[in-house]
Amino acid sequence: MKTSGAVTIKDVAKMAGVSPSTVSRVISRNPKITPETSEKVLKCMKELGYYPNAIARSLASKKSGTIGVIMPTTSEDVLLNPFFPEALRGIAKAASKAGYDLLLSTNAEKGEELKVIKNFIRGSKVDGIILMSSKVNDECIEFLTSLDFPFSLIGSPHCFSDKINHVDNDNYMAAYELTRHLSMTGRRKKIAMIAGDEKLTVTQKRIEGYKKALEESNIPFKHELLFMGSFDEKTGYKYGSIIADLDPRPDAVIVTDDVVAFAAVRLFESLDVKIPEDIAVASFNNSILSRYSNTPITSVDVNAAKLGKESMKLLVEAMESGVRGSKVITPYTLHKRKSTEG
Amino acid sequence: MKTSGAVTIKDVAKMAGVSPSTVSRVISRNPKITPETSEKVLKCMKELGYYPNAIARSLASKKSGTIGVIMPTTSEDVLLNPFFPEALRGIAKAASKAGYDLLLSTNAEKGEELKVIKNFIRGSKVDGIILMSSKVNDECIEFLTSLDFPFSLIGSPHCFSDKINHVDNDNYMAAYELTRHLSMTGRRKKIAMIAGDEKLTVTQKRIEGYKKALEESNIPFKHELLFMGSFDEKTGYKYGSIIADLDPRPDAVIVTDDVVAFAAVRLFESLDVKIPEDIAVASFNNSILSRYSNTPITSVDVNAAKLGKESMKLLVEAMESGVRGSKVITPYTLHKRKSTEG
DNA sequence: CTGAAAGCGCTTACAG
DNA sequence: CTGAAAGCGCTTACAG
pLDDT digits (tens, 9 = 90+) for A269-310: 999 999 999 999 999 999 888 887 778 999 999 999 999 999
**pLDDT per position as a tens digit, B84-111:** 888 988 999 899 889 899 999 876 667 7
Q: Using CB atoms, which residue from A85, A127, A262 is nearest to B85?
A: A85
Q: What value does the CA radius of gyration of chain A take, rounded to a whole number of Å?
A: 25
Position A141 scores a pLDDT of 92
The distance from CA A112 to its chain's CA centroid, rounded to whole angstroms, is 18
pLDDT confidence bin for B79, thresholds 50/70/90:
low
Element spanning A255, H or E? strand A252-255
Identify the pLDDT of residue A74.
59
- Give the pLDDT band (50/70/90) at residue B161: confident
Residue range A196-210: mean pLDDT, rounded: 92
SS3 for A106-160 is: CCCCCCCHHHHHHHHHHCCCCCEEEECCCECCCHHHHHHHHHCCCEEEECCCCCC
Contact A58 B1 (CB under 8 A): yes
Task: Report whether A273 contacts A244 (CB < 8 A).
Answer: yes
Q: Burial, A14: exposed, middle or buried (Cβ in 10 Å; 0-12, 13-18, 19+)?
A: middle
Q: What is the pLDDT of residues A90-133, one digit of tens each?
A: 999 899 889 899 999 876 667 788 888 988 998 889 999 999 98
First-to-last alpha carbon distance for chain B, in angstroms, is: 64
Q: What is the pLDDT of residue B268?
A: 95
CA distance A223 to A207: 11
Topology match between the domains B66-169+304-332 and B171-302+335-340: yes
Architecture of the structural domain at A171-301+335-340: 3-Layer(aba) Sandwich (3.40)
* N-to-C CA span, chain A: 64
Residue A197 has pLDDT above 70, yes or no: yes
Rounded to the nearest 10 degrees, the angle between the axes of helix B35-48 and helix B20-27 is: 90
Note whether B256 and B286 are within 8 A (CB): no
Per-residue confidence band for B2, with pLDDT thresholds at 50, 70 and 90: very low
Pick the residue from chain A with its C-alpha nearest to B232. A288
Q: Is the CB of A9 under 7 A from strand D?
A: yes
**In 3-state terms, what secondary structure has residue A235?**
helix
Pick from A187, A190, A145, A133: nearest CA to A325? A145
B60 touches strand C (CB under 7 A): yes
Give B56's contacts in chain A (Cβ within 8 Å): 59, 124
Asked if B96 lies within 8 A of A108 by C-beta distance, the reply is yes
Question: Are A200 and A230 a contacting pair, CB within 8 Å?
Answer: no
| Domain segments of chain B as ranges | 9-52, 66-169+304-332, 171-302+335-340
CATH topology for the B66-169+304-332 domain: Rossmann fold (3.40.50)
CA distances from A123 to A45, A58, A118, A120 (A): 30, 11, 8, 5
Q: Can you give the distance from the CA of residue B147 to the C1' of nucleotide C15 in angstroms? A: 36
Whether CB of A60 is under 7 Å from strand C: the answer is yes
Which chain A positions have a beta carbon within 8 Å of B1's beta carbon? Answer: 58, 62-64, 124, 126-127
Instruction: Give φ, ψ of A73 to 5 degrees.
Output: -80, -45
Is there a contact between B236 and B194 (Cβ–Cβ < 8 Å)? yes
**Minimum-distance CB partner of A55 among B78, B104, B123:** B123
Superfamily of domain B9-52: lambda repressor-like DNA-binding domains (1.10.260.40)
Task: Determine if strand D comes within 7 Å of the CB of A28.
Answer: yes
Closest Cβ–Cβ partner in A59, A84, A97 for B108:
A97
Instruction: Please tell me the distance from the alpha carbon of residue B220 to that of residue B191, in angstroms, as a whole number.
Output: 9
A9-15 contact pairs (CB < 8 A, 24+)? A9/A50, A9/A52, A11/A48, A11/A50, A12/A41, A12/A44, A12/A45, A12/A48, A12/A50, A15/A44, A15/A47, A15/A48
Q: Which residue has the higher pLDDT, A109 or B330?
A: B330
Instruction: Give the residue on B whose Cα is nearest the Cα of A3.
Output: B122
Torsion-angle region of A207 (φ positive above 0: left; ψ -120 to 50: alpha; else: beta): alpha
Q: Rounded mean pLDDT of chain B?
A: 89
pLDDT surpasses 60 at B52: yes
Task: Look at residues A119, A232, A85, A80 and name the one whose alpha carbon lies nearest to residue B79.
Answer: A85
Q: Which residue is nearest to nucleotide C11 (CA to C1')?
A: B60
- Report the alpha-carbon angle A57-A61-A64, nearest 5: 65
pLDDT digits (tens, 9 = 90+) for A36-50: 888 888 988 888 888
Q: How confident is the model at residue B36 (pLDDT cuts 50, 70, 90)?
A: confident
Q: Distance between CA A237 and CA A235 in Å, rounded?
A: 6
- Which CATH entry fits the domain spanning B171-302+335-340: 3.40.50.10680, 3.40.50.720, 3.40.50.2300, 3.30.70.20? 3.40.50.2300
Tell me if B64 and A55 make a contact (CB, 8 A cut-off).
yes
Cis amide linkage into residue B85, ω under 30° from 0: no
Mean pLDDT of A8-24: 89
pLDDT exceeds cutoff 50 at A2: no
Phi, psi of B203 (to 5 degrees): -60, -45
Task: Point out the residue among A59, A101, A118 whose CB comes nearest to the CB of B51.
Answer: A118
Residues 6+ apart with CB under 8 A from A254: A175, A178, A179, A182, A191, A192, A193, A194, A210, A282, A283
Return the pLDDT at B1.
35
* B157 prior amide bond cis, ω within 30: no
Chain A hits for B119, Cβ within 8 Å: 51, 54
Q: Establish how many alpha carbons lie within 13 A of residue A314's alpha carbon, considering only the half-sphere containing its beta carbon.
A: 29
Mention every residue, 6+ apart, whose C-beta is less than 8 A from residue B310.
B90, B94, B167, B328, B330
Please say if the pLDDT value at position A234 is more than 70.
yes
The Cα–Cα gap between B144 and B26 comes to: 35
Kindly report the number of other CB atoms within 10 A of residue B208's CB atom. Answer: 14
**How far is residue B72's CA from residue B60's CA, in Å, rounded to a whole number?**
32
| 8 Å CB contact of B147 and A4 | yes
Helix (H) or strand (E) holding A24: helix A20-27
* Cα–chain center distance at A205: 16
Which residues on B lie below 8 Å from A93 (Cβ)?
Answer: 75, 106, 108
Cα separations in angstroms, A251 against A133, A227, A270, A282, B81: 32, 16, 17, 12, 34
> Which whole-number Å values give the CA distances from A202 to A82, A136, A179, A233, in the listed order?
17, 10, 16, 19
Strand D close residues, chain B 26-65, CB < 7 angstroms: 30-34, 36-38, 56, 59-60
